[in-house]
Structure 1
């Protein structure tokens, strides 16, 4: 049987470690570069059903990780989770699969026929059994206003948001009555007592150990060498390509293709009676999906009850507008002065005319929503920055561009820096089973392998992907098929399926 090292205990890595360790003949070592927050104040915040509490757990983020959002702006802190649970522990745990066309495009454009909608739909259907949805009676004032505003504008207001239908409806979430639930709680925690699973925290990986194209283990940043029969990189869209680059992986696509959903927020000062934030309860429970002039379902309008920053006047809620189908790409590269330090992240959002046009549409939809009676009933004042600049200022094109340059953020949905594809595709880093092109006994199982970001919050797609690729790895281990993709391709044609 095999000794398997899994690098990274985030949304995907916790799934991988749990699934592999179900087979007691395999020895699984899960390495996490950050700490275990259980039993600490940070852990308490991360467990809250209210995402604002998690965002206040600053120790769960790497303060040295910076990124530029647009091509011309200055680096700002990049919020990625650090510690058991990874970014899954610090995100809002909203659970959407994306649109069927997202996955069909993976198949049609990148030749990934194992990842078409018909191939992945069954996994999403099975995962839905563990999701919850806040009933309308549990909506915040901002949730209720969004759904009512959609109805005022003649849009559907009771859609199942797990489907691709446009309109407003209740969001599905990974949660239970006591809080948000990442892969740490749902997958890793029940597996921690297994005799064949070892979890090591504060164990950051520098690089892979490679001998004549075979990966034999990993080198930690403290100098420790760990040997294994198989290595799985689940370090995430930022750290996985950094490890591959430090390991000398020469595929030109490593670190390229970075995508995330660009989003911008309008702050709302609410009227008395509508301002309260319910402690320990979800602050986001509904979404409005819209189609732009260029694609279906490519805009989300998301309400949030509460504030993540300080403003004057004080705001009590925000409405976020996001572009969910993205064509702009950025990159992750090593810092030449600190190659083992935080990577250099250039998201380069909104660099294509298409993305910029859809962003403008999304903001326009958000403004129109705020003009409905549903929002006028609860909103005292709406503004676009911490200084209280009114929304009407966006009518001026120059003001809009300046505001966007300083305000656009990412949705914490980074993908694409080690994407799937055939060996003869220069942008591809791994094949459909996650095997790294040109290296044996190493796979990537995390969001970095997605060729494009789906039109969804990425935690649920990450779990789907980890479930399917874990099964593929187990099948290959059972048959002794651990060699890399060159052994399974002829002229770029897939021979084995998932």
Structure 2
């Protein structure tokens, strides 16, 4: 039976960086197991290709939530990357760290080393910012950040309208306080997506001490006296088992990592016993504390300007867009899903920005439908710090492809009020003088929705996930009964097992979650190598 020093389960955002850092020492023999396939698929790399990678079984696990009372009984598609690079291969490419106060709150909850000033160096370590180098930004790393390569008149007008409403313009959302309105920076290189695989894994694929197996679905983690000792997986139709010398690292994401723990007997005993799983170690928090950003898609018809709707609905327009991208790597095919961002307070009593807008020069009745045949824009707005908490758990003992996902969106009065207030703020921005010449006309949720009760119901109808699930293996001290991992991301009560992905976030960050997940992996790799050195010293 072959032995590896480190076995990483999940070749997604965190797993690709971990494989890079842990294998940098040629003495470490590293195995990376990814259940998905390769990324040799055109639409992964063309930025607008997210339209063809989400809900595509080649690149997406195609999971769904349970019917949600807060969404008027609707069930949502829940995209998660099923490909090397994970969700970074199908996401919106937006570079966003969140707010300094997010990380200071993590530290205040008993997680030493996770304050903003302490995690900032780990953001900088892999950053390659195309046009900023200062205290907040670095150049020369693997994670490329660039300006978007197109602009729209209507988006500039939205930015001006936001300024009229007290939301200042900004050119950088990533210096600790992201309040303001400006164009998102994106993880692209010359108009091509930069995924975690492209940034961290492909450049090192010839390292002799790194083994990457695709299509490898983990079936079991082996333990001796609550110490992880082996991993079993199915690869190319065969069941294989490998031993681990240092650590097993779960980097399978906020849905799959808790299910892998549950299948190994680590979790809430009350959840495991009905599935016929013998508990190895009771940890009540496994799979709990699910948080996500619910976006409310407000849509406004506009006049006297062009949007993507008209281009995309004409054959010649689509042909022109294709040729522009082929020859210049610019134009609509280089678009991230959202171009303009806006961070604001839903009401004056909010201490810091608690809303994020993703503004797009396009519209559709619902996601997946054709674009409208008339010019319109979408101003999606999400509550950055939802109070609602859900859960993830196995549906059957050996089935990680059909999870039970219960987000519990809009399940608290506070979240309902923020939803109503955010729609009202959107209307205020759209009625500002900077947008007057475009004659915006509200289509969704509709101008007849006015009082709180009507807006709550409307939010449930137009709300959808923005693909940021976190928190299901949350970090916290050992006396925190809901915590799953400690501040070094070691699973409580289990040796040689860590979780390193977005599931460890105690609270969701105030923005898009891909780059914070890379920071978590960057910091974790340093912690793991420190612990390896300490074990070696003890052994000697």
Partner of 1:267: 299
Q: Give structure 2 stretches of 5+ with no counterpart.
A: 128-136, 267-281, 312-330
Partner of 2:194: 181
Q: Quick one: structure 1 residues 303 and 381, their matched pair in 2 at CA, closer, same or farther if it must change by over 3 Å?
A: same
- Does the alignment pair 1:121 with 2:123? no
1:348 Cα shift?
A: 0.8
Corresponding pairs, count: 472
Q: Deviation string for 1:471-493 (max 9, x for gaps)?
A: 1111211221799xxxxxxxxxx
Partner of 1:420: 475
Q: Deviation string for 1:19-72 (max 9, x for gaps)?
A: 11111111111111111131xxxx211112336545567231123444445556
Partner of 1:156: 168
1:271 Cα shift?
A: 3.6
**2:36 pairs with 34, 37, 42, which one?**
34
| Secondary structure, aligned partner of 1:224 | strand
Partner of 1:306: 362
Q: Deviation string for 1:297-326 (max 9, x for gaps)?
A: 111122023354326954653110110112
1:403 Cα shift?
A: 2.5
- TM-score with structure 2 setting the length: 0.81
1:236 Cα shift?
A: 0.2
Contact 1:96 1:162 in 2 (8 A): yes
1:133 Cα shift?
A: 4.3
Q: Deviation string for 1:427-458 (max 9, x for gaps)?
A: 11111111111111111110111101010100
Contact 2:103 2:115 in 1 (8 A): yes
Once structures 1 and 2 are overlaid, which stretch shifts more, 195-204 or 402-411? 402-411
| Secondary structure, aligned partner of 2:410 | coil
- TM-score with structure 1 setting the length: 0.88
| Secondary structure, aligned partner of 1:111 | coil
Partner of 2:405: 345
Partner of 1:491: none
Partner of 2:240: 224
Contact 2:98 2:178 in 1 (8 A): no
Inter-partner Cα distance in structure 2 for 1:131 and 1:145: 28
1:194 Cα shift?
A: 0.9
**1:132 pairs with 145, 152, 155, which one?**
145
Inter-partner Cα distance in structure 1 for 2:451 and 2:468: 30
Partner of 1:281: 334
Contact 2:256 2:400 in 1 (8 A): no
Q: Quick one: structure 1 residues 49 and 380, their matched pair in 2 at CA, closer, same or farther if it must change by over 3 Å?
A: same
Query: Cα RMSD (Å) of the superposition?
Result: 2.5
Contact 1:255 1:417 in 2 (8 A): yes
Q: Give structure 1 stretches of 5+ with no counterpart.
A: 385-389, 484-498
Q: Quick one: structure 1 residues 257 and 154, their matched pair in 2 at CA, closer, same or farther if it must change by over 3 Å?
A: closer
Q: Deviation string for 1:374-401 (max 9, x for gaps)?
A: 43444664311xxxxx620221555433
Contact 1:50 1:179 in 2 (8 A): no
Once structures 1 and 2 are overlaid, which stretch shifts more, 15-24 or 69-78? 69-78
| Secondary structure, aligned partner of 1:258 | coil
Inter-partner Cα distance in structure 1 for 2:532 and 2:467: 33
Q: Quick one: structure 1 residues 376 and 82, their matched pair in 2 at CA, closer, same or farther if it must change by over 3 Å?
A: farther
